[in-house]
Amino acid sequence: MYAIIQIAGKQFKVKPGMVLNVPTLDLEPGKKVNVERVLAYSDGKNLEIGTPELTNVAIDGTVIAHGRAKKIIVFKKKRRKGYQKKQGHRQGFTQIKVEGIAPAKPDTKKKVAKADAEVKAETKPVAKKATAAKKPAAKKAPAAKKPAAKKAAAKPAAEKADKGE
């Protein structure tokens, strides 16, 4: 059994009993976390994928601790310019223990499906209206024609005739 969730802008694959590090959340250690964005759920036999999320699956967890990850070195350099810059960064995280993945009871799935069917029945597709007789488009005056280019081959032939060749 597993679920794919979205928390703090990132997606995680979680299983019951798993401990995961997520970007820092504003919760105290020991507080309960309820994940609302469940994108997919699998019970080992069936896979449910949300569009975009599932409303019939709940993920319960507990905040264990807050911490900071290993330092990451950010080094910038432009060769032959004398420019070097070294920075370090430690990203904060919140450790969460996933206590359970609880799919909703089958009755609620049917209710949700019925509610969706009712909404679809209420919103009937709107038929396109027949357009009124269109006005004929105004005819444009033809563009002025460009003068034809003079033929270069005609001149030499006339010159040859004059010379008597």
pLDDT one-digit tens code per residue, 12-23:
999 999 999 999
Burial of 64 (0-12, 13-18, 19+ CB in 10 A): middle
pTM: 0.56
* Per-residue model confidence (pLDDT) at position 140: 72
Q: How far apart, in whole angstroms, are the C-alpha atoms of residue 94 and residue 63?
A: 7
Residue 100 has pLDDT above 60, yes or no: yes
* Per-residue model confidence (pLDDT) at position 131: 56
pLDDT one-digit tens code per residue, 33-78:
988 899 999 988 999 898 888 988 989 999 999 999 999 999 999 9
30 Rama class: left (phi>0) / alpha (psi -120 to 50) / beta: left
Q: What mean pLDDT is predicted for residues 103-125?
A: 56
- Beta bridge pairs of residue 93: 23, 67
Which helix (H) or strand (E) segment is 157 a member of? helix 154-163
Pairing of strands 2-7, 47-54: unpaired
Q: How far apart, in whole angstroms, are the C-alpha atoms of residue 49 and residue 40?
A: 4
Q: What mean pLDDT is predicted for residues 88-107?
A: 85
Q: What mean pLDDT is predicted for residues 91-115?
A: 73
DSSP single-letter state for residue 15? -
Structure tokens at 130: 């027949």
Q: How far apart, in whole angstroms, are the C-alpha atoms of residue 18 and residue 101?
A: 11
Pairing of strands 10-14, 92-103: unpaired
Instruction: Indicate the domain borders of the chain.
Output: 2-72+88-105
Residue 40 near residue 53 (C-beta atoms within 8 A): no
* Per-residue model confidence (pLDDT) at position 36: 82
Most confident of 31-40, 79-88, 94-103, 134-143: 79-88
